[in-house]
């Protein structure tokens, strides 16, 4: 079946409650026969449902359009794997994170809008903090073609830095953090960072107490926090349509292993 034929079929496979496609397991049937998705079934705890195992097996053979198809997203999603894409979809609508700005647009268009906020966008994710005063700010930077935003808050009394880094267009990346004495850059401490989450993923902020690092920084009054973003190489196949089968890398490796095995046997 081509995509048009699949779309004509899945139009009849919608949740009776939320009217979205039946893409979230488990699929449940109400006493009067209506099918609902797993999300709606969890909300309705007063109803008695029957799980539709056969229908779920059929749904696993199909692919569904993203909820942002009308905004330009062309991805096809498989049953039970919707949430992962939706938190990364660059065609989600969002509001500009800059303070006193209420512009609403698609996430894919947000980097162009943020370029107008010169007070936020910097050349790199680097901040200078006077350890005796509090901060609550946001900065952004475009690194290797991807715009990253960081909200941070510093509590001078606790010497605690809380921060959250997000990539606007999701690409697998990690961040690394270094602390430097602003007056004497040779006095520095490198700290292992973590992964940069998708923009819409709910995740707690990172809390970093700098008290234990101050002696190594010669008790500097101003500390420079420099965040280095390193993108991880993504297999080109993962950026293509998910309906295309993966390359036969495993099969080729297996064939090579078998040839080597025969070679060693003949050598012995």
Which long-range contacts does 52-60 make (Cβ < 8 Å, 24+ apart)?
Answer: 52/26, 52/27, 52/28, 55/22, 55/27, 56/25, 56/26, 56/27, 59/13, 59/22, 59/23, 59/27
DSSP code at position 236: G
CA torsion, ordered 92, 39, 240, 55, to nearest 10 deg: -150
Arch. (CATH architecture) of 108-231: Sandwich (2.60)
Domain ranges of the chain: 3-86, 108-231
Q: Has this prediction a pTM greater than 0.75? A: no
Whole-number Å distance between alpha carbons of 194 and 164 = 11
Arch. (CATH architecture) of 3-86: 2-Layer Sandwich (3.30)
What distances in angstroms separate CA 251 from CA 1, 49, 140, 257, one per listed residue? Answer: 27, 44, 44, 10
Q: What is the pLDDT along the chain (268 residues), one digit of tens a residue?
A: 566 777 788 888 999 999 999 998 999 998 888 999 988 988 877 778 889 999 999 899 888 899 999 999 999 999 988 888 888 899 999 999 888 888 999 999 999 999 889 889 999 999 999 999 999 999 999 998 899 999 999 999 999 999 999 988 777 899 999 999 999 988 999 988 899 988 888 788 999 999 999 999 988 899 999 999 988 654 443 333 333 333 333 333 444 444 444 444 454 4
């Amino acid at each position: 079946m081509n995509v048009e034929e699949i779309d004509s079929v899945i139009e009849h496979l919608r949740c009776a409650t939320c009217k979205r496609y039946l893409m979230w397991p488990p699929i449940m049937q109400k006493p009067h026969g209506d099918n609902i998705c797993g999300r709606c079934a969890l909300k309705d705890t007063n109803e008695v449902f029957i799980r539709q195992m056969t229908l779920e097996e059929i749904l696993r053979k199909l692919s569904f359009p993203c909820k942002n198809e009308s905004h330009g997203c062309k991805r096809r999603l498989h049953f039970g794997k919707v949430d992962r894409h939706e938190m990364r979809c660059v065609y989600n609508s969002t509001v500009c994170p800059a303070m006193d700005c209420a512009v609403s647009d698609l996430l894919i268009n947000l980097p162009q809008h943020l370029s107008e906020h010169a007070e936020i966008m910097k050349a790199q994710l680097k901040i200078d903090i006077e350890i005796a005063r509090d901060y609550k700010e946001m900065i952004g930077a475009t690194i290797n073609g991807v715009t990253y935003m960081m909200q941070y808050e510093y509590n001078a009394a606790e010497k605690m830095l809380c921060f959250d880094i997000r990539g606007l267009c999701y690409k697998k990346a990690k961040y690394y953090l270094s602390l430097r004495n602003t007056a004497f850059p040779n006095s520095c401490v490198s700290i292992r960072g973590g992964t940069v989450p998708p923009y819409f993923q709910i995740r707690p902020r990172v809390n970093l107490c700098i008290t234990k690092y101050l002696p190594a920084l010669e008790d500097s009054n101003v500390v420079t926090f420099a965040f280095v973003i390193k993108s991880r190489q993504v297999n080109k196949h993962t950026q293509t349509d998910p309906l295309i089968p993966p390359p036969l890398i495993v099969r080729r490796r297996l064939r090579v292993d078998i040839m080597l095995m025969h070679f060693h046997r003949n050598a012995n």
